[in-house]
Amino acid sequence: MKYRHIVIIVTAAALSGSLRAGAWEHHPLITRHVVDTIPHISNADPVQAVSLQEFLLQEESGIADLLAREEAWARANLAWYAPRPDVLAFQPTGNPNDICHRFFRAIRVNPSIKTPLYVTHLAGQESGGANILPPSAVSILRSTPMLEAFVFEELVPGDWVHPVDIVSGASNEPDYGMDVGLFSDNGTAIGRIFGFGVQPFGNPNLDYGSQAPFHMGFYHESWIIYLFAGFLKQSYLEYRIHLFKALSEYAFSKGQDYWGWRFMGWGLHYIADMSMPYHTTVLPQYSTLRMLWINLLDMLGLSKYKNNAVQLVSNRHMALELFQGFTMAEACRNNNLSDPVIATLRRDRQTPVYTDDLPRTALAKASYDLSARMDKAVETYMPPHFVRNPAVELANCPNRFNIVEMVCAEHGEAVIASLVQLQAQALDLFSTYGRSYALNILENR
């Protein structure tokens, strides 16, 4: 038991550290380039914005049936699924005052989330004239420079909005606090009633840390890791992916297209997270034997190796996100369609037919398989102080926002290009499986 306990500590600490900044930065930019090149979406007509409250009131009994079917599906198909307590089931009462709250509790998201009507633009690219919502009107998490990279133009019910705008903006919303504070040890009232139990991995004390099991999934580690750390399988990524797909399909089937597109965007967030190698791999570049070995040393009192591994993977994860966020925002601002990431996201391709296990079996596997190369590149080319010094906490380095300039000064444009190329390889996975997910929703219309 002691051995198992130590493995848990290592991996939990590793994950908590690696989760501070979410997954990919700027989901709206990533998603926009994919959905903008799916003709079913880019050629679709604008739709009128509808508030969540109005949508739920119009569809209350149908949503109740749908969520009951979803619960049955999750219990039957997800091995580690913690059943939703029956008391949280969505009951059609007709009460407009608490209908959003009842819905949030039934799908077990943080009921404090904001769901305003708005369109997301990169700062500086707003259309002008519209009321601008502050970040606190869309996100319940504290504002960050990455969130401030966007402006949120308010819509009112009945405003016309294009599906590309709805889906791309919505694809950032799961990082606005939806999955924060849901476990029993997160110190929240909802955590005590939601039935998810103790947080299986990730650090419950961090701002973003408690969303880890909803945004990360470790499906392809060695069996022996699971033997000692079975909790690593307790991911709710597939739960969210399936739930939001079902809600999207339901909304479209009732002619509620605004919410069909918006739920599609929520689901695509989790598909994109799965393409991020640090979200599918516990310790990239570590063999199973090496992982077990540093645990053994830790057991013997030599914790240095474990702690170093944890800190380094955390810093590298964050370095990659920062680099990706800045390079992608720059390419999007310049509308540089030949940028490898943008070109990859927009490239037409054969997409596999979507099945419910496709994200796990194909997408997460490909992402996992890319993790060692990605980690090696980050280790080699990102500033050594950031990614090779375990005494450094990157989140505390003010100059981390200059990471692109630092890499360029040290290694030149060719290395920048090679790192962007590697990111394109990972995001190519999102382009493939995100298309597959979206097209399957639309085919079922």
HSE (side-chain half, CA atoms, 13 Å) at 360? 20
Collapsing DSSP to helix, strand or coil, 46 comes out as: coil
Residue with tokens 């990605």: 374
Alpha-carbon distance 198 to 196, whole Å? 7
Q: Which is nearer to Zn ion, 213 or 383 (CB)?
A: 213
Stretch that binds Zn ion, among 21-29, 110-118, 249-257, 376-384 (CB under 5 A): 21-29
Q: Which of 119, 130, 356, 135 has its CA nearest to residue 261?
A: 119
Q: How far is the CB of 367 from Zn ion (least distance, A)?
A: 13
Contact region with Zn ion (CB under 5 A), list: 23-31, 38-46, 164-172, 412-420: 23-31
Q: Which is nearer to Zn ion, 172 or 432 (CB)?
A: 172
Q: How far apart are CA 330 and CA 340, in angstroms?
A: 13
Question: Which residues in 207-226 contact Zn ion (CB under 5 A)?
Answer: 215
What residues from 238 to 297 belong to the interface with Zn ion (CB under 5 A)? 273
Grouping H, G, I as helix, E, B as strand and the rest as coil, residue 394 is helix
| Minimum distance of Zn ion from residue 215's CB (angstroms) | 4
Name which of residues 42 to 71 contact Zn ion (CB under 5 A).
none
Asked whether the beta carbons of 339 and 420 are under 8 A apart, the reply is yes
Edge-first strand order for the sheet with 132-133 is 118-122, 150-154, 132-133
Is the CB of 213 or the CB of 340 nearer to Zn ion?
213
The size of the interface with Zn ion (CB under 5 A), counted in residues, is 5
23 binds Zn ion (CB under 5 A): yes
The H or E element spanning position 52 is helix 52-58
Answer whether 141's CB lies under 8 Å from 192's CB.
Answer: no
* Closest CB 91 distance from Zn ion, rounded Å: 30
Helices (H) and strands (E) in the chain, counts: 20, 5
Tokens of 15: 């994950």
Residue in the shown chain whose Cβ atom is closest to Zn ion:
215
Of 283, 349, 268, which is closest to residue 316 (Cα–Cα)?
A: 283
Closest CB to Zn ion among residues 23, 232: 23
By CB under 5 A, the residues from 163 to 192 that bind Zn ion are: 175
Nearer to Zn ion, 33 or 102 (CB): 33
SS3 371: helix
Of the pair 103, 278, the CB lying nearest Zn ion is at: 278
Query: Between 23 and 310, whose beta carbon lies closer to Zn ion?
Result: 23
Q: How far is the CB of 273 from Zn ion (least distance, A)?
A: 4
Q: How far is the CB of 385 from Zn ion (least distance, A)?
A: 27
Task: Tell the smallest beta-carbon distance from residue 263 to Zn ion (Å).
Answer: 16
Cα dihedral 406, 411, 415, 419 in deg (nearest 10): -40
321 binds Zn ion (CB under 5 A): no
Q: How far is the CB of 359 from Zn ion (least distance, A)?
A: 14
Shortest distance, position 389 Cβ to Zn ion, whole Å: 27
What is the number of residues in the chain? Answer: 445
Nearer to Zn ion, 241 or 282 (CB): 241
Residue 25 in contact with Zn ion, rule: CB under 5 A: no
For Zn ion, the binding residues (CB under 5 A) are 22-23, 175, 215, 273
